[in-house]
A and B are shown apart, each in its own frame.
Chain A
Amino acid sequence: MSALARIGRFLGDNPVIPLLILLALLVGVLEFMRPGILNERWIGNTVKFAIPLAMLAACQTFTMYTGGIDLSAGVVATVSAFVMATLVPVVGTGPAILLALIPALLIGLVNGIGVAFANVHPLIMSLGTGLIGTGCLQVYQRFVIATGSEVPPFLTWLGTGVTWGFPNSLLIFVPFAALLIYAQSRTGFGRALYAIGSNKEAARLSGVRAWQVYLLLYTLSGLVAGIAGLLYVGLIRAPSLSLVNPLLLPSVAAAVIGGTSIFGGRGSYAGTIVGALILRVLDTLLTLMRMPEGMRVLLFGLIILVVTAIYVRLTDR
């Protein structure tokens, strides 16, 4: 009993280890089911698809540190991707990318304003801005229907390309992840996030002005979602009005599986990255099993539940 508790505490303090074990296990099962699948190409593909998911999940992870969530992230990513693709024929690649990130920042800022100044629950706030974003995108689409759209080669290269066996998107993602992992524990901002999520009153007492944190946090979350959208459209190469939306709930799931508490004050982005990889591998696994779609979706849900339940049980204090 006490041994189990000790293991639980160890895993609680090092949440990434059991996740890596689970990931290895899943890959093992995959290799067992389909010997030879575990090759460079498959790994590259899995990583390629996991990266936009992990970036979107960064929005969830960091907002969850404060006890929040960003349900507008999927829409924001879609908006950025779509706006960028439709602007490329008009203004060229560079300006299009920069312009496309403006709505992302804007939606994030509005989320931040609602959470910071009107005390609206982030779930509600980001849900609302997501709706508004979707509507705006649909209206926008009617204006640009004539211009057509184009995914610039640079993004395609980044999204789908492989160099020396490594997906090019790692060029963006590795520095990105390193920065986030550094920032969460070794910057004042990161500390403030955990502090607010752990005890808002105590953070205030210690001099943290929550509104500043929320404003910056949700704006950054918008920005990250926008970048994830650009990367994703580079991967998919076909912009649409609901391009990234299907990744929203998986992004929440990736953060949760990765050990981030939805109530705030606990978690790590490293866990989220592994969580995103687990979801991707799981997806392949379920597809390979040639099950009816219903069974696949069902198992996907069950596994999310089981993993988080085991996790909660192990780290229950």
Chain B
Amino acid sequence: MIRVLRNQAWVLGLVGLLFALALVTKAIQPTYSASGFESLARAALPFAFATAGMAVAILVGGIDLSVASMMAVASVTAAVLMEGAGVGTSIGVVFLVLGIGLAMGAINGALIVVTKVPDIVVTLAMLYVWEGVALLILNAPGGQVAPWLQQLIRGSVLPWVPNALILAVVGVAIVWVPIRRSKLGLAIYAVGSDPLAAYRSGVNIAGTRIAAYAICGLFSAMGGLTLAMSTGIGEPIPGPYLLAAVAAAVLGGVVLGGGIGGLVGPLLAVLILRLVRQDLTLASVDPNVTTIVEGTIMVGVVMLGGILALRSRRS
């Protein structure tokens, strides 16, 4: 039990923080309602998937700077192919886009493995490549996402349980839970933790890294899809998801360098960051201050985490 607490301390801390923020929200805005939460969840959706993807790339010991660009590819592909298409076609397009995401991620991973160039450099280059691809598909915002998909992420099944939230949780869980429980999941953690030891344990390092990046690509495609679903169109210029995803993953307890963390923390972190943003808006603080606050939270938390880690090592 104690070990569970120790291992999950970070996630529990985030849950506590989320509760505190919920109370703050209620205090600032007594009339805060389920619909406010619904729009928050909708805005958080692409961030959630981008963060999940980034977290997996970091877990395997890398980082993927091309997340936002892959989202752009997914979003324009979906919008272009769905324009004027029926429900059946659009379902097919969804799966096609997810497959493209998987493929883009796998290409990233394969290039990292084959070229032996550091992850951060390869994905920096691929950031341009995928952005270029997105621009070639659609050189200005356009296309149209199937209306039923746009409706899918709006509204709530139950009060305070918006569709967008369910989609985020289900979308991440459906991919990650089976993987986490399989040997691939173990291998991802093993490679992130100690590649040499993993290799000697018989883990296929190259395969594991490619798989992890493919998962990252898949999540990015989900992010791009949900982005297009919420705006209704495709946007070839990558949004501000890269830095935000790194920030949320780190805030969520995923340690840069790999092997430590999970996906629950990062998702909570996304929610926390969005809630902070919303609270500041509700408190009619200059929206620009929001960026400062977000940056300060991030810096403060990682510095605190770093100092605590140093302390515990000393004692």
Q: In the complex they form, do A and B come into direct contact, defined as C-beta atoms under 8 angstroms apart?
A: yes
Interface on A for B, CB 8 Å cutoff?
A: 69, 71, 110, 114, 117-121, 123-125, 127-136, 138-139, 142, 249, 252-253, 256, 261-263, 292-302, 304-305, 308-309, 312-313, 316
> A299: shortest Cβ distance to chain B, in Å?
7
Complexed CA–CA distance, A299 and B137 (Å): 15
Please determine whether A121 and B256 come into contact, CB atoms closer than 8 angstroms. Answer: yes
Contact indicator per residue, chain B 134-146, by CB within 8 Å of chain A (1) or not (0):
1111010000000
> A82: shortest Cβ distance to chain B, in Å?
14
Instruction: Give which listed residue, B120, B128, B139, B292, contacts A304 with CB less than 8 A.
Output: B128
| 15 A/B residue pairs, CB under 8 Å, sorted by A | A114-B299, A119-B310, A120-B303, A125-B299, A127-B247, A127-B298, A131-B243, A131-B295, A131-B298, A249-B124, A252-B121, A292-B139, A298-B128, A301-B125, A302-B128
Please determine whether B299 and A301 come into contact, CB atoms closer than 8 angstroms. Answer: no
Please determine whether A114 and B291 come into contact, CB atoms closer than 8 angstroms. Answer: no
Complexed CA–CA distance, A262 and B62 (Å): 13
> B284: shortest Cβ distance to chain A, in Å?
15
Please determine whether B139 and A305 come into contact, CB atoms closer than 8 angstroms. Answer: no
> A107: shortest Cβ distance to chain B, in Å?
11
Please determine whether B291 and A129 come into contact, CB atoms closer than 8 angstroms. Answer: no
Q: Write out the residue numbers on chain B whose beta carbons fall within 8 Å of the beta carbon of A131.
A: 243, 247, 291-292, 294-295, 298
Please determine whether A295 and B132 come into contact, CB atoms closer than 8 angstroms. Answer: yes
Within 8 A of A (CB), among B266-315: 286, 288-296, 298-299, 302-304, 306-307, 309-310
Please determine whether A142 and B286 come into contact, CB atoms closer than 8 angstroms. Answer: yes
Instruction: Give which listed residue, A121, A123, A129, A263, contacts B295 with CB less than 8 A.
Output: A129
Please determine whether B295 and A138 come into contact, CB atoms closer than 8 angstroms. Answer: no
The segment from B21-29, B31-39, B110-118, B213-221 that touches chain A is B110-118
Please determine whether A305 and B122 come into contact, CB atoms closer than 8 angstroms. Answer: yes
Q: Write out the residue numbers on chain B whose beta carbons fall within 8 Å of the beta carbon of A300.
A: 128, 132
Q: A256-B121, A301-B125 are in contact. Are A293 and B303 (CB under 8 A)?
A: no
- B129 part of interface (Cβ distance < 8 Å): yes
- B82 part of interface (Cβ distance < 8 Å): no
> A174: shortest Cβ distance to chain B, in Å?
29
A interface majority secondary structure: helix
Among A71, A135, A302, A313, max chain B CB count under 10 A is at A135
Q: A120-B306, A138-B291, A298-B133 are in contact. Are A132 and B128 (CB under 8 A)?
A: no
Please determine whether B286 and A139 come into contact, CB atoms closer than 8 angstroms. Answer: yes
A sample of 12 more A-B contacts (CB under 8 A), given A142-B288, A262-B120, A293-B135, is A118-B303, A123-B120, A136-B292, A139-B292, A261-B118, A294-B134, A294-B135, A296-B132, A298-B128, A301-B125, A304-B121, A312-B117
Complexed CA–CA distance, A73 and B304 (Å): 23
Please determine whether A124 and B288 come into contact, CB atoms closer than 8 angstroms. Answer: no
- B250 part of interface (Cβ distance < 8 Å): yes
**Count of A-B residue pairs with CB < 8 Å:** 167
Within 8 A of A (CB), among B29-87: 63, 65
Please determine whether B132 and A304 come into contact, CB atoms closer than 8 angstroms. Answer: no
Q: Write out the residue numbers on chain A whose beta carbons fall within 8 Å of the beta carbon of B296.
A: 128, 132
Complexed CA–CA distance, A110 and B298 (Å): 13
Please determine whether B298 and A302 come into contact, CB atoms closer than 8 angstroms. Answer: no
Q: A139-B286, A142-B286, A312-B117 are in contact. Are A301 and B128 (CB under 8 A)?
A: yes
Chain A: which residue is nearest B119 at the CB level?
A262
Q: Write out the residue numbers on chain B whose beta carbons fall within 8 Å of the beta carbon of A132.
A: 291-292, 295-296, 299
Complexed CA–CA distance, A65 and B135 (Å): 35
- B94 part of interface (Cβ distance < 8 Å): no
Complexed CA–CA distance, A299 and B293 (Å): 37
Please determine whether A297 and B120 come into contact, CB atoms closer than 8 angstroms. Answer: no
Instruction: Give which listed residue, B115, B126, B136, contacts A309 with CB less than 8 A.
Output: B115
Complexed CA–CA distance, A46 and B296 (Å): 38
Q: Write out the residue numbers on chain B whose beta carbons fall within 8 Å of the beta carbon of A292.
A: 135-136, 139
Instruction: Give which listed residue, A127, A135, A305, contacts B125 with CB less than 8 A.
Output: A305
Please determine whether B309 and A119 come into contact, CB atoms closer than 8 angstroms. Answer: yes
Please determine whether A135 and B306 come into contact, CB atoms closer than 8 angstroms. Answer: no
Complexed CA–CA distance, A142 and B286 (Å): 10
- B203 part of interface (Cβ distance < 8 Å): no
Chain B: which residue is nearest A253 at the CB level?
B124
Complexed CA–CA distance, A253 and B127 (Å): 12
Q: A131-B291, A297-B135 are in contact. Are A305 and B306 (CB under 8 A)?
A: no
Instruction: Give which listed residue, B117, B126, B306, contacts A119 with CB less than 8 A.
Output: B306
Complexed CA–CA distance, A189 and B43 (Å): 47
- B225 part of interface (Cβ distance < 8 Å): no
Q: A119-B309, A132-B296, A134-B291 are in contact. Are A305 and B126 (CB under 8 A)?
A: yes
Please determine whether B302 and A294 come into contact, CB atoms closer than 8 angstroms. Answer: no
Please determine whether A309 and B243 come into contact, CB atoms closer than 8 angstroms. Answer: no
> B185: shortest Cβ distance to chain A, in Å?
24
